[in-house]
Structure 1
Amino acid sequence: MRNRRKPGSRRYKDYEDNLLNIAVELVKNKNISSYEAEKQFGIPRRTIANKVKLKHMKKIGSPSRLSKEEEDKIVEALILCGEYGCPLTRFELRMIVHNYLTKNNKLWIFNDKLPGERWVREFLNRHKEKLTLRSTQNIKSSRASKTITEYEEYFENLKKSLVNVKAHNIVNFDETNLTDDPGSQKCIFKREKNIQIRF
């Protein structure tokens, strides 16, 4: 269970980075004082002053488990999977990362276990400019790409093949009741891209 902030203790970061950047620029250019910036943006004066003096420039929180280069490659792979019509779920992402760590003798990073759900959430948050979660349906891309003309041709051919066939001799059968589709899933896609088809 994660630790909760004690009542009355100092607030942790509760402001957007872009607001901090604006406040720092205003103070650095002497448009306003750090005191005025604190009141206007709700950001502690000490934080603004440190950024102006280029102190404590590292990102808040613990460092990511994987390097930036490794995470960038994972992002590229996730985007490619979505574009090829087979986007990955959060669990599949965990499996792929685990497999990568196994091959590179880095299982110790996650204590020889799969990366957790929390890591996935933080990973997606770090790359929210490129990645997003969307719901999918289990349907083949070939079926989804059929045109109205193709369907009309199918039914015209069906009419011809059913000539002189009595109604009680016509049986319909398809894979509907044999599907293993558990329903819609959430998969990872490139942000601002049309919903992909999973098959």
Structure 2
Amino acid sequence: MPREYKRASSSRTYRDYSTEKLDSALKLIRAKKKTQRNAAKHFKIPRITLKYKLKGEHRLPFGGNKALIDEAENAIVQCCIAMSDYVFPLDTYDLRCIVKSYLDKSGCTELRFKQNMPGIEWTRSFLKRNKNISLRFSSNISKTKVSLSSETINEFFNHISKELDSIPPSNIWNYDETNLTDDPGTKKVLCKSGCIYPHRILNISKVSTSLMYCGNALGELLPPYVVYKAEHLWSTWTEGGPSGTRYNRSKSGWFDSVIFDDWFFQLALPTLKRQEGKKVLLGEIYHHI
């Protein structure tokens, strides 16, 4: 079956009119402002169609039957929306597996599917019929971030606002480690229509080149710290970087406690010692200490 069905010129015409035109024609006929013949000619709708609609006959849609009944499709749509809300969204393959499982457990055999497994074209038609779900690229978040509650976040900000109250912006430093290449990638998942940023929980192993950045509330930055995934650090890897950049290497390409200590004592601490008054160094990666 083609993706976009195109009717042959010699075949019978089906519904070459819009729903609005049909409703307008029926409204004029019921109001006795037009006869069936005149309405059919004016709106270019077959007269027999108007007759059937007025009598309430032939209400079934034209074309082939759907593989699933309406109740089953609606239940699957709600399942897709619920899984997206729970931050475990389904992709199109998951959707096809659910349909196959439903047909198998129902004892039904859909001859248009291979072993009851829907194809890609059926998935496209399913999404076209159900406008309240759509495909979006998801972003990956960890279980730790999902487990945070609003009470925990509010408690954190209430506490830190008191701690930072008497500290000048130049003495408030924040560091963060980031990775350049180890991204498992995004994929399209099923979610409720209108959802702009769907997430999915995915724990990943970080094994690539890392960078440590640190800056204060005035926008001043320390030199970056680069960690390569390697057994040895080659001199050519330390060329062309920003002034003052420090380089290191680890088996995983990520910071460990030894490398973190080197960053702290070689880059962070000398700057902090030159400042007067109380200082604060904030960081997200708690397992470095």
User: Is TM-score (shorter-chain normalized) higher than 0.5?
Assistant: yes
Aligned partner of 2:184 among 165, 180, 186? 180
- Provide the C-alpha distance between the structure 2 equivalents of 1:18 and 1:178, rounded to a whole number of angstroms: 53
Structure having the larger proportion of residues in helix: 1
Task: Tell me the residue number matched to 2:217.
Answer: none
Aligned to 2:13: 11
Asked if 2 retains the 8 angstrom alpha-carbon contact of 1:134 and 1:195, the reply is no
More strand by share: 2
Q: Deviations over 1:78-97 (max 9, x none)?
A: 11112222332222211121
Unpaired runs of at least 5, structure 2: 158-163, 165-170, 202-289
Question: d(CA) in 2 for partners of 1:103 and 1:198?
Answer: 28
Larger RCO: Structure 1 or Structure 2 (Cα < 8 Å, ≥ 6 residues apart)? 1
Match of 1:168 in 2: none
Q: CA RMSD in A?
A: 3.6
Instruction: Please give the per-residue CA displacement for 1:113-140, whole angstroms capped at 9, x wherever unaligned.
Output: 4112232233223322xx2324223331
43, 48, 51: which one pairs with 2:50? 48
Q: Is the 8 A contact 1:107 1:113 kept in 2?
A: yes
Q: Could you say if the C-alpha distance between residues 193 and 178 of structure 1 is closer, same or farther in structure 2, counting changes exceeding 3 Å? A: closer
- Unpaired runs of 5+ residues, structure 1, are 160-171
Work out which of the residue numbers 72, 94, 102 in structure 1 matches 2:74: 72
**Aligned mates of 1:156, 1:115 — CA distance in 2:** 57
Q: Which residue of 2 aligns with 1:83?
A: 85
Give 1 or 2 for the bigger CA radius of gyration: 2
Q: Distance in 1 between matches of 2:110 and 2:100?
A: 11
In the superposition, the TM-score normalised over structure 2's length comes to 0.50
| Residues 141 and 200 in structure 2, CA contact (< 8 A), matched pair in contact too | yes
With over 3 angstroms needed to count, the CA separation of the structure-2 counterparts of 1:32 and 1:88, relative to structure 1, is farther
Write the letter of the residue equivalent to 2:56. Answer: L
Aligned length: 180
Residue in structure 2 matched with residue 122 of structure 1 by the alignment: 125
